[in-house]
Chains A and B, each alone.
Chain A
Amino acid sequence: MDEIKISAQDVNVFYGETHALQDVNVKIRDNTVTAFIGPSGCGKSTFLRCINRMNDTIEICRVKGDILIDAEDIYDRQVDPVQLRAKVGMVFQKPNPFPKSIYDNVAYGPRIHGLARNKPELDEIVEKSLRRAALWDEAKDRLGQPGTGLSGGQQQRLCIARAVATAPEVLLMDEPCSALDPIATAQIEELIDELRQNYCVVIVTHSMQQAARVSQHTAFFHLGHLVEYGETGQIFTNPQDKRTESYITGRIG
């Protein structure tokens, strides 16, 4: 239960001259939802992107330090980032459906990784994924229509469906509910809790209540530093750092 899935050691990230993350050390448990919280620009998305090497795609970005998944260094030269990203799925802060049909958006991953042997199996994965992302009822009659034609909140759920379709071991979610109504939010939170049984989930959220509701561990980032990391109940009842307290209680720190 308490096994460490992701281990970050002395992680520093630079965007050109900007020192976006400084000496981040953290061990993230498997079968656990870990929430990253902190003010805008503190480096949450940056750190999330380190975990599946998305930062590689940013020209000016340099990552120093080690990130291990299952004790394997993911920045090792032998690691194929594409393979890594199949294992470490991600839902982005801004919904980014492919310019394809709703069906193909979800079927894309399972297809390239050969997760379905035939059309009925693929159909099943697509339906199951859309159901888990609480989008099935709205999408089932328009699976052939472009994903980009959905509303913002629907697009976000489509991206969640796409991310869970490949059954990744680690799921990174960057504000997955920011454009969702309370019902869809509750459904996604329920999904996150369900995913926890089998996966390691890391979620960035600006909603303190969401962090409190869905996560077992919470990490508070501030100005590029990981200030406090602990059991969620403890962080929200008795944070140890004054900066954490100010942030979660909505104070002028």
Chain B
Amino acid sequence: MQDLHIASAFDRDLEDITALIMKMGGLVESAILNSANSLVDRDVELAAKVRAGDKAIDALEIQINEEAARLIALRAPVGGDLRTVLSVMKISHNLERCGDYCKNLAKRTTVLAEMPPIGGSSNAIRRMAREVERMLKDVLDAYIQRDTELAADVRARDTEIDQMYNALFREFLTHMMEDPRNITACMHLHFIAKNIERMGDHVTSIAEQVIYVVSGEIPDEDRRKLDRTSFVGKVGG
């Protein structure tokens, strides 16, 4: 960890804003788990709770941005302090997006609860969501500890999420081809899987912020994108 500032109020400001990020991260973690559980258990009440909970996440993003603006105006941060403030703004945005995806998942859960289940797909979706939640938990730990190794590990794990998504995509195609009555549910499930995959990308972006805060450099985009679904159906592809 870094040395303390001579102005201790500066340290307190940075601690406060970091605490807000952690609080926001905690809310998003529960939103991921709860929304996935509501899907598997067809728990409409839990889904409603997730939808209502998104307001608190949005409010935290606003609060974090206000605190960051204040800190920039009053303390003119430089060096690592500046990178911390910039990262906080970026991360709060990533978390807010994840919150939105959870809310969307919960909405679709409410619709899907009225339809017959599609094989074991909701369990597969929950596995994917759980993995994203673990990645988020790890990346927030990495942020607090300034642990670039853990951040790099999280970043690498996103390829697994991409693979899970690709597998689900194919499964949904199969179900839709087997019986067109599955199409509505499969479309909803597909959006859910896609949104979880997007959450993985946001978590990856947070991991990159950890690396930026520590090193001052954003890692290269060398992680090969494993979502190949854009090519599905291509003739000869």
Closest beta carbon of chain B to A122's beta carbon, Å = 43
**B3 CB–A CB distance under 8 Å:** yes
**A38 CB–B CB distance under 8 Å:** no
**A182 CB–B CB distance under 8 Å:** no
- Of A83-91, A101-109, A237-245, which binds chain B? A237-245
- CB-nearest residue of chain B relative to A244? B79
Are A250 and B3 also in contact (CB < 8 A) when A236-B78, A238-B79 are? no
Q: Which of B3, B76, B217 contacts A251 (CB 8 A)?
A: B3
**A116 CB–B CB distance under 8 Å:** no
Are A249 and B79 also in contact (CB < 8 A) when A237-B216, A238-B216 are? yes
- CB-nearest residue of chain B relative to A242? B3
Q: Which of B6, B83, B217 contacts A250 (CB 8 A)?
A: B6
Taking a contact as CB atoms under 8 Å apart, the answer to whether B4 and A251 are in contact is yes
**B48 CB–A CB distance under 8 Å:** no
Closest beta carbon of chain B to A243's beta carbon, Å = 11
Taking a contact as CB atoms under 8 Å apart, the answer to whether A237 and B82 are in contact is yes
Closest beta carbon of chain A to B86's beta carbon, Å = 9
**A252 CB–B CB distance under 8 Å:** yes
Interface residues of A, Cβ cutoff 8 Å to B: 208-209, 212, 236-239, 244-246, 248-253
In the docked arrangement, what's the CA distance between A239 and B6, Å? Answer: 19
Taking a contact as CB atoms under 8 Å apart, the answer to whether B81 and A249 are in contact is yes
Q: Which of A248, A252, A253 contacts B78 (CB 8 A)?
A: A248
Q: How many residues of B contact A (CB 8 A)?
A: 17
Q: Which of B3, B76, B83 contacts A238 (CB 8 A)?
A: B83
A212 to chain B: which residues have CB within 8 Å?
A: 78
Taking a contact as CB atoms under 8 Å apart, the answer to whether A251 and B82 are in contact is no
Q: Which of B77, B216, B217 contacts A249 (CB 8 A)?
A: B77
Sample 17 A-B pairs with CB under 8 A, ordered by A number: A208-B78, A237-B79, A237-B82, A237-B216, A238-B79, A238-B217, A245-B79, A248-B78, A249-B77, A250-B5, A250-B7, A250-B10, A251-B2, A251-B4, A251-B5, A251-B6, A253-B3
Most buried by A among B78, B82, B216: B78
Q: Which of B41-83 contact A (CB under 8 A)?
A: 76-83
Q: Which of B1-32 contact A (CB under 8 A)?
A: 2-7, 10
In the docked arrangement, what's the CA distance between A251 and B10, Å? Answer: 10
B216 to chain A: which residues have CB within 8 Å?
A: 237-238
Add 7 more A-B contacts to A238-B79, A239-B79 (CB < 8 A).
A209-B76, A212-B78, A246-B3, A249-B77, A249-B79, A251-B2, A253-B3
- CB-nearest residue of chain B relative to A253? B3
Interface digits, B216-233 against A, CB 8 Å rule (1 contact, 0 not)? 110000000000000000
B81 to chain A: which residues have CB within 8 Å?
A: 249
Closest beta carbon of chain A to B68's beta carbon, Å = 16
In the docked arrangement, what's the CA distance between A104 and B218, Å? Answer: 57
A239 to chain B: which residues have CB within 8 Å?
A: 79
In the docked arrangement, what's the CA distance between A253 and B3, Å? Answer: 7
- CB-nearest residue of chain B relative to A212? B78
Closest beta carbon of chain A to B152's beta carbon, Å = 19
Taking a contact as CB atoms under 8 Å apart, the answer to whether A236 and B6 are in contact is no
Taking a contact as CB atoms under 8 Å apart, the answer to whether A236 and B79 are in contact is yes
Are A252 and B6 also in contact (CB < 8 A) when A237-B216, A238-B216 are? yes
Closest beta carbon of chain A to B135's beta carbon, Å = 27
Taking a contact as CB atoms under 8 Å apart, the answer to whether B4 and A249 are in contact is no
In the docked arrangement, what's the CA distance between A252 and B7, Å? Answer: 9
Closest beta carbon of chain B to A26's beta carbon, Å = 21
- CB-nearest residue of chain B relative to A240? B216
B7 to chain A: which residues have CB within 8 Å?
A: 250
- CB-nearest residue of chain A relative to B7? A250
